[in-house]
A = this chain, B = another copy of it.
Amino acid sequence: MRIREATSEDWAQIWPFLRDIVRAGDTYTWDRDVTEGRARELWMSTPPARTVVAVDGDTVLGTAKLARNHMGPGSHIANASFMVSPDHGGRGVGRALGGYVLDLARADGYRAMQFNAVVETNTRAVALWQSLGFEIIATLPEGFEHPAKGFVGLHIMYRKL
């Protein structure tokens, strides 16, 4: 597995699994019926934001986006988002992307990273971020409408860099 900056050619492989993850609606606070055009706008970054992909040869396994979480006097706090293809789950793609993006954020001069919306029922993601040094600093009660479980909490997670 190798991680590199995403190119516009990667989008054709990103969109099918990103679409499925967003449509499932149990982990992401995106509109479930997001169009491909809007999704591409949201995911494929322009500087200073960055989008990366984890690849195995020509196959995209997962992708991550690093961006500012606040503007102006808060722009030293990064945000990141991660999407791993369900076809390639269980082989550490999320963890590898997480470590890579933390390093990238440090190199870009960010001082901390904040996740705004980690669904509390997404326990694998919560555990992964905790193992990478993130803490749950707050939980929005009933912040997320889960398709099967109803209103569940939405964690805000944070770590210094």
Contact = CB atoms under 8 A, between A and B. Distances in A.
Interface size band for A: 35 or more
A156 interface: yes
A119 B139 CA distance: 20
Q: Which among A31, A74, A160 has the greatest number of chain B C-beta atoms within 10 A?
A: A74
Contact of A72 (B29, B73, B138, B142): B29
A71 interface: yes
B142 A111 contact: yes
B154 A74 contact: yes
A73 B145 CA distance: 5
Contact of A74 (B29, B34, B76, B77): B29
Given A138-B137, A138-B138, A156-B138, A71 B31 contact: yes
A82 interface: no
A32 interface: yes
Interface in A100-145: 111-112, 114, 116-117, 137-145
B72 A30 contact: yes
24 contacts: A25-B72, A25-B73, A28-B73, A29-B73, A30-B72, A31-B71, A31-B75, A32-B72, A70-B116, A70-B117, A70-B143, A70-B154, A73-B146, A73-B147, A74-B144, A74-B145, A76-B145, A77-B154, A111-B142, A116-B116, A137-B138, A137-B156, A138-B158, A156-B156
